[in-house]
Structure 1
Amino acid sequence: MAAAGGMVETLQANPAVVIGVVLGVAGVVLLRKFCDGGVCRSTARLDGKTVVITGANTGIGKETARDIAKRGARVILACRDLTKAEAAAAEIRQDTGNGNVVVEKLNLASLNSVREFAAKINAGESRLDILINNAGIMTCPQWKTEDGFEMQFGTNHLGHFLLTNLLLDKLKKSAPSRVVNVSSSAHAGGHIHFDDINLEKSYGPIKAYCQSKLANVLFTKELDRKR
């Protein structure tokens, strides 16, 4: 009801408008739930396990590291930015009570850095139970990696491809072990440009990203086939 000039006026909402608002709100809620993805309801413990997560200082990688730390695993945050990674590790240790959360330097845009990281893990860790290839770059300008590859393909795929293969023996010795490659639904729009893998002839940020995500999926399928 609304009072105006000493008169009381009853306002009645249009039923069609009310229904439209309700459906709109419901649609937003459902869309958000869909975009959030699935919910892990597993209560499995990971005590005594060692897990490497690339790009674990922010976003999905950080939340994954937090969850795995809560389950009791030794968690290695493999990150390019050590300052941010150390801050994330400290936060996770405090939040979970798990003091076995450590940071190691890894720049996936440098194959030399990948080799150095893998050598350190192989030499210093007694086991490796889970490798989560999470780090990635998305829709950047036409940059190149240290080794001259298109940045998204080089970082999202080639860096993880080399890392996985260099750690494969350690993973097999720690069986049952797992490799988790984080991709994207963007892979559906991807195409592997074998005749122009660095997209030097026709670069597009989204085109490059989709190619890298498709490469993640193809690598995962082939790795599973050959395991």
Structure 2
Amino acid sequence: MSHCELSEIIMQGKTIVVTGGTSGIGEVAALALAGMGARIVLVARNKGRGEATLARLEQQAPGVGHRLHYADLAQLAEMKRVAVEIAAAEPRIDILINNAGAMFANREVTKDGFEKTFATDHLSYFVLTAGLRERLLAAGSARIINTSSHAHKTAQFDINDLQSTKNYTSFLAYGRAKLANILFTRELARRTAGTGVTVNCLHPGFVATRFGDEAGGLIGHVIGLAKVLAISPEEGAKTLIYLATAPEVATKSGEYFYKSRRTAPARAGRDDAMARALWEKSVALTGVDWV
């Protein structure tokens, strides 16, 4: 039996929640997993893109009940609301793919007082995952996949300045958020050990997607030019799909992957004390926990 055939058997009847799934690697992965027999639950911010992706999912795998929820994952109330809605609608969740991400040229603050990159790229992962805890545990064997980035390797992480009040640049804020993804993965893996839930993260590569299109300013222009050298969304989605389907990953947890292989993150991403500190700060900021 080929790897593809085995993956299709594994995905039959699975329910997969995907954020950031209406474009780029998230959409490619959602469509591929639907094609293997999975049922996709999308979280989208933009109605037009959400409906367009839902239509493509229905074409790819009709009649299985793909669902679409709307939420602005930069806003704490929206993170919590959509988690409650999904938990109410789904008896179990087999895979959660936290893939939403953004970068902003200028420092923006949400109405909750959070720097917007940190809110979208880390806190939404934290809040949604906590809100879906019972549904993930109900699956018996569930996978959580967090999209990170090699951008974490140059991050300067200050646990006492998570909102980037002291020195903000778009790249610094993005790198910090991606480092937070890895630390979150590490600590959540420790907390879910023995439950049947695994959690891993990945670097998809520099991908030509919508990422950075709304960043504005010079950074948006730079990213636009750099996309000439970027890999395709199809190539970038391979590791995401691998982590969702590969039998050999079923028991791995707390790891960082690139090109479908486990690799070591930067030293800061292996700091267990910092991972615990970030967790406690995230609980204090959001009022949610994996308990």
Q: Which TM class, normalised by the smaller chain length? A: 0.7 to 0.9
Cα drift, residue 122 of structure 1: 1.3
Residue 115 of structure 2 corresponds to which residue in structure 1? 150
Q: Alignment partner for residue 51 of structure 2, among 86, 99, 108?
A: 86
Aligned residues: 187
Cα drift, residue 150 of structure 1: 0.8
Whether the 8 Å contact between 1:140 and 1:152 is mirrored in structure 2 is: no
Residue 178 of structure 2 corresponds to which residue in structure 1? 213
Q: Secondary structure of the residue that 2:160 maps to in structure 1?
A: helix
Whether the 8 Å contact between 1:72 and 1:98 is mirrored in structure 2 is: no
Larger radius of gyration: 1
| Stretches of structure 2 lacking an aligned partner (at least 5 in a row) | 193-291
Q: Alignment partner for residue 49 of structure 1, among 2, 11, 14?
A: 14
| Whole-Å separation in 2 of the counterparts to 1:160 and 1:139 | 18
Q: Alignment partner for residue 86 of structure 2, among 113, 121, 125?
A: 121
Q: Secondary structure of the residue that 1:195 maps to in structure 2?
A: coil
Cα drift, residue 160 of structure 1: 1.0
The structure whose RCO (Cα within 8 Å, separation 6+) is larger is 2
Counterpart of 2:37, as a letter, is G
| Stretches of structure 1 lacking an aligned partner (at least 5 in a row) | 1-40
Instruction: Give matches, 1:51-200, under 5 Å.
Output: 51-97=16-62, 99-200=64-165
Counterpart of 2:66, as a letter, is V
| Whole-Å separation in 2 of the counterparts to 1:178 and 1:47 | 15
| Whole-Å separation in 1 of the counterparts to 2:84 and 2:63 | 25
Counterpart of 1:167, as a letter, is L
Cα drift, residue 71 of structure 1: 1.1
Whether the 8 Å contact between 2:91 and 2:138 is mirrored in structure 1 is: no
Residue 230 of structure 2 corresponds to which residue in structure 1? none
Whether the 8 Å contact between 1:82 and 1:105 is mirrored in structure 2 is: yes
1:223 maps to 2:223: no
Cα drift, residue 56 of structure 1: 0.6
Counterpart of 1:156, as a letter, is D
| Whole-Å separation in 1 of the counterparts to 2:144 and 2:79 | 16
Cα drift, residue 97 of structure 1: 4.1
Deviations 1:32-71 (A, max 9, x none): xxxxxxxxx5431212211000011100110010011001
Cα drift, residue 99 of structure 1: 4.7
| Whole-Å separation in 2 of the counterparts to 1:152 and 1:178 | 25
| Whole-Å separation in 2 of the counterparts to 1:221 and 1:76 | 25
| Whole-Å separation in 2 of the counterparts to 1:140 and 1:84 | 23
| Whole-Å separation in 1 of the counterparts to 2:138 and 2:156 | 35
Q: Secondary structure of the residue that 1:131 maps to in structure 2?
A: strand
Whether the 8 Å contact between 1:85 and 1:103 is mirrored in structure 2 is: yes
Whether the 8 Å contact between 1:145 and 1:155 is mirrored in structure 2 is: no
Whether the 8 Å contact between 1:106 and 1:113 is mirrored in structure 2 is: yes
| Whole-Å separation in 1 of the counterparts to 2:38 and 2:160 | 43
Report the TM-score, using the length of structure 1 for normalisation.
0.78
Counterpart of 1:168, as a letter, is R
Cα drift, residue 96 of structure 1: 4.1
Percent of matched pairs sharing the same residue? 39
Deviations 1:167-219 (A, max 9, x none): 11210111200100000011111132223221112111100000000000000
Q: Secondary structure of the residue that 1:196 maps to in structure 2?
A: coil
Across the aligned residues of Structure 1 and Structure 2, the Cα RMSD in angstroms comes to 1.5
Counterpart of 1:172, as a letter, is L
Whether the 8 Å contact between 2:15 and 2:93 is mirrored in structure 1 is: yes
